[in-house]
Structure 1
């Protein structure tokens, strides 16, 4: 019986440590990058993988802007279909900024303006969610 108890305690401790370590990047991101810019793009040709990949290529160029601290680019995940999930978009960008001034710099930055000029023909609709940490 003591062997099972020790094994249980060791397993529980390992799981707790793993959970704490895996949550650490989120905690650090929260304090470092309190401004979030999340953009969803609806493609003009939603069935075109070539157009999707071209837009992804363009979005990735935005990481060169010095005030963009982190950039995540994504497509719709193949998760369970539920009424609360909107999977009508094609490409998403998720950016993190240190402050509002950095986000404002991004908006006017020549790389961002060039991105709009060179890739806007690929999208039909764009929705932006700007979030400030509370």
Structure 2
């Protein structure tokens, strides 16, 4: 087999293998989440350039881990991803929480630790947007 034919064979085999993997991945069943209630919150700072204010909100959000109805908690800051029209990177901090049920999410809302977070940190943010969702799978 010549070098050119060998390269064509390897390239073709790699393409077929990648296509097979991609096709089989689309047939995987979606698993139902054990924590189907999603609570995603975005915070815009009053002082957008203040690392101290951003860090204070992050520290405040970490206290929410003590609320037992929160099954998972993720805290994030804006990623340096590609600029596209559909990407909103105007916020500063986000929290992503997962709950077993709507009752757990309601308990979180009125929990004293959550209320203390709001009392301690609300002066730092200009705007908050909340997206609540339930797993559709």
Give TM-score, length-normalised by structure 1: 0.79
Gaps of 5+ in 1: none
In structure 2, what is the equivalent of residue 39 of structure 1? 41
In structure 2, what is the equivalent of residue 111 of structure 1? 113
Corresponding residue to 2:59 among 33, 45, 57 = 57
Corresponding residue to 1:48 among 38, 47, 50 = 50
> The residue matched to 2:60 in structure 1 has which SS?
helix
> How many residues are matched?
120
Q: Which runs of 4+ in 1 moved over 2 A?
A: none
Say whether residues 1:69 and 2:71 are aligned partners: yes
> The residue matched to 1:59 in structure 2 has which SS?
helix
> The residue matched to 1:84 in structure 2 has which SS?
coil
Larger radius of gyration: 2
Counterparts of 1:18-37 in structure 2, within 5 Å, are 30-37=32-39
Q: Distance in 1 between matches of 2:33 and 2:47?
A: 39
Offset at 1:99? 0.2
1:64-95 per-residue CA deviation (whole Å, 9 max, x = no partner) reads 10000000000000000000000000000000
In structure 1, what is the equivalent of residue 125 of structure 2? 123
Offset at 1:110? 0.3
Q: Distance in 2 between matches of 1:124 and 1:44?
A: 5
In structure 2, what is the equivalent of residue 88 of structure 1? 90
Q: Distance in 2 between matches of 1:55 and 1:115?
A: 9
